[in-house]
Amino acid sequence: MCRTFSKGKRLRRTEHPTVTALDRVSFSVPTGETHGILGPNGAGKTTLIKILSTMLVPTSGRAVVAGHDVVSQTDVVRRRIGMVFGGDRGLYDRISARQNLAFWATLYRVDPRRVDARAAMLLERVGLTDRADEPVERFSRGMRQRLHLARGLVGDPSVLFLDEPTVGMDPVAAREFRSLVGELRAEGRTILLTTHDMGEAEALCDRVTLVDHGRVLVTENTADVGRTLGEPQGIDIVLAPHQSETLESLSKLPEVRSVERLSGAHAFRVHTEPPASVETVMRWLVDHGVLSLQVRPPTLEEVYVRLIGKRGLTV
């Protein structure tokens, strides 16, 4: 699937400057999977979600959601999906949480006799029953996001799109939100999540797709993505208090890229390069009396930074 946008004003009749937001993107998500779409600003994540949720049409190619084509079967797709955006879009501030949900339930053609019960059930589910009748403008970011999630669930969707749902939330609110997403995942809903938070992707996603410049770089199990790409593993070590010289010599080994201090006392993470040098460094550590050591796969963040990091801060 591809999607281009026209860029700025047309210069001459024949010229159509375009920006390619999605370039031959292809991947599939099995029913019941929580799938993360990761990539830097401008990679094409929102464009992808907009196409899959029928808000945009692809320039070429096709997309199927819940078994239905997003362009030719838009109405069916819309009845099966829910959307949750991060940020301030999509809620009416001056009316209450309950009124917001009743409004959306009506738009989703919920039976009018069941609208109140559905709103009450969703408010309970996202922990907002006590504040249900207050105007949304008084809500914190975390409460707004939980209301967003309730809104996304109004049509009881089998497929849920979450576009940076925890952006701007404090860590406690984000954790509560993730636990709600975990419950939805356990119910067997299919979830497509975009996020810049690698910890969030690691905690929630069965598989991830990394995109950059509108292209898919890799689709892989979250836990295996580093190994699949041959990313270097790390070695977590704990040194005895008298081993400061060992640490110094370790840092100077040609196979050691960096040594990172961990939170525990005398705990460090050794990053090796190339990947095959893990064994050499392990042997060196054992020979130098380091008894607490454990090889661990690269984190998603490490994989991301190595694949995309060089341009991760540019658009």
Ligand X SMILES: Nc1ncnc2c1ncn2[C@@H]1O[C@H](COP(=O)(O)OP(=O)(O)OP(=O)(O)O)[C@@H](O)[C@H]1O
Give, for 35, the enclosing helix (H) or strand (E): strand 34-38
- Decide: is 168 part of the binding site for ligand X (CB under 6 A): no
- Residue 43 or 303: the one with the smaller Cβ distance to ligand X is 43
Smallest gap from Cβ 277 to ligand X, in A, equals 35
- Residue 290 or 307: the one with the smaller Cβ distance to ligand X is 307
- Decide: is 44 part of the binding site for ligand X (CB under 6 A): yes
Per-residue string for binding with ligand X, 142-161, x by CB under 6 A? --------------------
Its sign, for the CA torsion 181, 185, 188, 194, is positive
3-state secondary structure of 192: strand
- Residue 39 or 157: the one with the smaller Cβ distance to ligand X is 39
Q: What is the dihedral of CA 267, 233, 200, 163, to 10 degrees?
A: 150
Smallest gap from Cβ 37 to ligand X, in A, equals 8
Distance CA 290, CA 262 (A): 16
Smallest gap from Cβ 253 to ligand X, in A, equals 38
- Decide: is 204 part of the binding site for ligand X (CB under 6 A): no
Distance CA 257, CA 18 (A): 41
Give, for 295, the enclosing helix (H) or strand (E): strand 292-296
Give, for 98, the enclosing helix (H) or strand (E): helix 97-107
Q: What is the dihedral of CA 199, 203, 207, 212, to 10 degrees?
A: -20
End-to-end alpha carbon distance in the chain: 22
In sequence order, the β-bridge partners of residue 147 are: none
Stretch that binds ligand X, among 39-47, 93-101, 201-209, 258-266 (CB under 6 A): 39-47
Whether the Cβ atoms of residue 184 and residue 156 lie closer than 8 Å to each other: no
- Residue 37 or 174: the one with the smaller Cβ distance to ligand X is 37
Smallest gap from Cβ 189 to ligand X, in A, equals 22
- Decide: is 96 part of the binding site for ligand X (CB under 6 A): no
Number of residues that bind ligand X (CB under 6 A): 11
- Decide: is 19 part of the binding site for ligand X (CB under 6 A): yes
Stretch that binds ligand X, among 41-49, 90-98, 179-187, 274-282 (CB under 6 A): 41-49
- Decide: is 41 part of the binding site for ligand X (CB under 6 A): yes
- Decide: is 86 part of the binding site for ligand X (CB under 6 A): no
Q: ∠ at Cα 223 (217, 228), nearest 5°?
A: 50
- Decide: is 185 part of the binding site for ligand X (CB under 6 A): no
Phi and psi angles of residue 244, each rounded to the nearest 5 degrees, phi first: -65, -30
* The residue type at 242: H
Pair of tokens at residue 116: 């109140």
- Decide: is 42 part of the binding site for ligand X (CB under 6 A): yes
Q: Which 8-state DSSP code applies to residue 276?
A: G
- Residue 121 or 167: the one with the smaller Cβ distance to ligand X is 167
Comparing CA positions, the residue from 242, 245, 236 lying closest to residue 292 is: 236
- Decide: is 18 part of the binding site for ligand X (CB under 6 A): no
- Which residue among 39, 58, 86, 234 contacts ligand X (CB under 6 A)? 39
- Decide: is 117 part of the binding site for ligand X (CB under 6 A): no
- Decide: is 5 part of the binding site for ligand X (CB under 6 A): yes
How many Cβ atoms from other residues are within 10 Å of residue 219's Cβ? 17
- Decide: is 46 part of the binding site for ligand X (CB under 6 A): yes
- Which residue among 34, 35, 38, 45 contacts ligand X (CB under 6 A)? 45
Query: Site residues (CB under 6 A) for ligand X?
Result: 5, 19, 21, 39, 41-47
